[in-house]
Amino acid sequence: MNITLHKTSTKLAALYLAIMMAISLFFSVIVYRLSAQEFNRVRGDQGLVVRGIGVPGGGPSAVGPLSDLRDQFIERQDAVYEEVKTKVLIHLAATNVLILISGGVASYYLARRTLQPIEEAHEAQNRFTADASHELRTPIAAMRSETEVTLMNPKLTLGQAKTQLQSNLEEMDKLTALSEGLLRLARFEHADLPKKPIELRQVVQDAINRVMPTAEARNILITGEIPDGMKGIGDAASLTEAVVILLDNAIKYSPEKSEIAVSAAANQKAMSLIVKDQGAGIKATELPYIFERFYRADTARSKQQVHGYGLGLAIAKNIVEVHGGVLTAKSTVGKGSAFTITLPKA
Ligand code: ADP
C-alpha cells in the first residue's frame, strides 16, 4: 500500500469513526438525561409517600422516632439514586470507549475495503504508465545511439547514411504503431460507442477482407461460415477492429500454409464468434495474462520473431466489453488457439 493511499484510508476511517462516535454520544446523552429524569420522578413520588410517615395526616412537619427513620430513609434513598446515576454514567462512558475502540478497528477495515479497488486501479495505472514509457523510450534510445555513432564516423559513406536512415524509419514505424495502439486503447476504454443494428456476418466479412493480404502473404487460408440473421446492437467499425485483431494474431502466430477457421454459434440470448488457428498456442500459465496491456506470451513465434506491443488483445477486450460481451481464449501449445467473442443478441 502506498503512503498516499494509507493516509487516505486513515482519513476515511477517522471520518467513519467520527460519525459513529457522534451518533453514539448523542444517544448516550439522551439515555442519560431520560434515566436521570426517570430517577428524579420516581424519587419525587417515593419522597411524597415517605414524607407522610409519622405525621398524622402526613406533611413535612412530623417529629419523633418515625420522622428520624423517615429522614434517614430519604438520605439513604438520595445516596442510592446518586450512586445509580453515577453507575449509569460510567456504563455509558465504558460503552462509548468500547465503541471507540471496536469502531476504530471496524472503520479502518471498512475504509481499506472501500479503497481497495481504487488502490488496484491506481497501481494498474502506474504499471501502465511505466510500461508505456518504457516501450516509448526503447526505440527512441536505439535511434539516438545509432544516429550518434553514425554521425561520429568521419568516413561516413552514402550507403551507411542510408542504412542509418532506414533503421530510423523502422524505429519511427514502431513508435507510430505504439502510439496508435495506445490511442485505440484509450478510445475504447469505457467508450460510449454508437449503438446501431449490426450483422455479425458483415462484421466478419469486413475483417477478413482487411487481413486477407497479410494472410495470403503467408499462404494462410481463412475459412469462414457465418450464418445469416446473427444480429446485435453496437458499433460495426469497432467490432470489425476487434475481429481484425484476432485474425491478425492468428496469422502472426501461425506457421505458413496453415488454416484459420472462423465460425459462429448462437442461442436465444447470445451469439459467439470463434477464431481458431493451428498456430503455436499459448501456455496454460500465460493464458490468464494475455489480455493484459503490454503482456506478450513467450511462444515460439512471439517476442523474438513477431513484432508487437501486447496491446492488441487488450484493445479487443475493451471493444467487446463496451458491447456488453466477453472475450475468452482456449489454447493448446503446438496445436493452436481459439478466441471466442460472445455478444448479446439484438
Ligand atoms: P501482440 O500480438 O502485439 O504481442 P496481443 O495483445 O495481441 O499483442 O497478444 C498478446 C500475446 O498473446 C501475444 O504476444 C502472443 O504471445 C499471445 N497470442 C495472442 N494471440 C495468439 C494466437 N492466436 N496464437 C498464439 N499466441 C497468441
Q: Which of 52, 43, 56, 50 is nearest to 73 (CA)?
A: 50
Average pLDDT over residues 57-85: 75
Report how far ligand 1's centroid is from the alpha carbon of 339 (Å): 11
Q: What is the pLDDT of residue 301?
A: 52
Is any ligand 1 atom within 6 A of the Cβ of residue 280? yes
Position 276 pLDDT exceeds 60: yes
Position 50 pLDDT exceeds 70: no
CATH classification for the domain delimited by 196-344, as one of 3.90.550.10, 3.30.565.10, 3.90.45.10, 3.90.870.10 = 3.30.565.10
- In terms of Cβ atoms closer than 10 Å to its own Cβ (0-12, 13-18, 19+), residue 63 is exposed
For ligand 1, atom 13, name the residue with the nearest CA. 296
From residue 60, give the alpha-carbon distance in Å to each of 40, 48, 81, 118, 253: 19, 9, 21, 73, 107
Q: What is the pLDDT of residue 257?
A: 94
Q: Which atom of ligand 1 sits closest to the CA of residue 310?
A: 8
For residue 288, the 8-state DSSP code is G
Is any ligand 1 atom within 6 A of the Cβ of residue 92? no
Is any ligand 1 atom within 6 A of the Cβ of residue 240? no
For ligand 1, atom 9, name the residue with the nearest CA. 310
- How is the chain split into domains, by residue range? 2-124, 130-189, 196-344
Distance CA 330, CA 219 (A): 24
Q: Which atom of ligand 1 sits closest to the CA of residue 311?
A: 6
Q: In a 3-state reduction of DSSP, which class is residue 272?
A: strand
Q: How many CB atoms lie within 10 A of CB 115?
A: 18
> pLDDT tier at 55 (50, 70, 90 boundaries)?
low
Average pLDDT over residues 111-131: 89
Report how far ligand 1's centroid is from the alpha carbon of 242 (Å): 13
Report how far ligand 1's centroid is from the alpha carbon of 291 (Å): 9
Percent of the chain at pLDDT > 70 equals: 92
- The position carrying cell 486503447 is 185
Cβ atoms 200, 264 nearer than 8 A: yes
Work out whether strand 336-344 and strand 326-332 pair parallel, antiparallel, or are unpaired.
antiparallel
For ligand 1, atom 1, name the residue with the nearest CA. 310
Report how far ligand 1's centroid is from the alpha carbon of 155 (Å): 43
Q: Which atom of ligand 1 sits closest to the CA of residue 339?
A: 23
- By most ligand atoms within 8 Å of CB, the mutation choice from 131, 274, 282, 294 for ligand 1 is 282
Least confident range of 176-190, 229-243, 248-262, 325-339: 176-190
Report how far ligand 1's centroid is from the alpha carbon of 95 (Å): 60
